């Protein structure tokens, strides 16, 4: 039997969906305009920048960026053409590859980060009180817990 959403749940769902969709769209548009990259490419650069030696196996990078391997491979090809990422073969697994963030890619990330952070601050954190920010963290962690299980 379907457990339909009641009126309050429906309103919360629609507000949540609208807010997250609008925020991701705004982040994408502003990164495209300011840094010439979509949000998905920015996320790849961030994950690589936070990895040891700024390098990850492609399969692990796909997991960390919540991307299919084929979509990630396409994105990395685009990032390679810009000189921001370089692929290299895995020595112990002939089928595996690593994605390495280049110095040029790190510089592109450093250049894009201030605008990205300002967009996040302006549209996510500035409208909220400190208590609401804590609630947002708790709510997001609860939702993440059900999705990662």
Q: DSSP letters along 48-80, please? A: HHTSGGGEEEHHHHHHHTT--HHHHHHHHHHHH
Note the pLDDT of residue 149.
Answer: 60
User: In this predicted structure, which of 4-8, 21-25, 66-70, 76-80 has the lowest mean pLDDT?
Assistant: 66-70
Note the pLDDT of residue 96.
Answer: 85
User: In this predicted structure, which of 18-22, 110-114, 134-138, 143-147 has the lowest mean pLDDT?
Assistant: 143-147
Domains and CATH numbers, the chain: 17-112 (1.10.10.10)
Note the pLDDT of residue 94.
Answer: 72
β-pair partners for 90: 93
Tokens coding 65: 């960026």
Q: Which residue has the higher pLDDT, 38 or 92?
A: 38
CB 105 within 8 A of CB 55: no
Judged against a pLDDT cut of 80, whether residue 71 lies above it is answered with yes
């Amino acid at each position: 039997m379907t457990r339909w959403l009641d009126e309050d749940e429906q309103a919360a769902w629609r507000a949540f969906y609208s807010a997250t969709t609008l925020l991701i769209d705004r982040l994408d548009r502003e990164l495209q305009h300011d840094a010439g990259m979509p949000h998905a490419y920015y996320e790849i650069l961030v994950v690589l920048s936070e990895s040891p030696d700024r390098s990850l196996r492609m399969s692990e990078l796909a997991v960390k960026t919540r991307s299919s391997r084929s979509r990630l491979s396409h994105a990395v090809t685009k990032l390679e053409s810009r000189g921001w990422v370089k692929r290299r073969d895995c020595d112990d697994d002939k089928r595996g590859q690593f994605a390495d963030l280049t110095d040029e890619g790190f510089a592109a990330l450093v250049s894009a980060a201030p605008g990205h952070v300002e967009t996040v601050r302006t549209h996510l954190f500035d409208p909220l009180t400190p208590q609401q920010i804590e609630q947002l963290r708790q709510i997001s962690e609860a939702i993440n817990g059900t999705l990662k299980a």
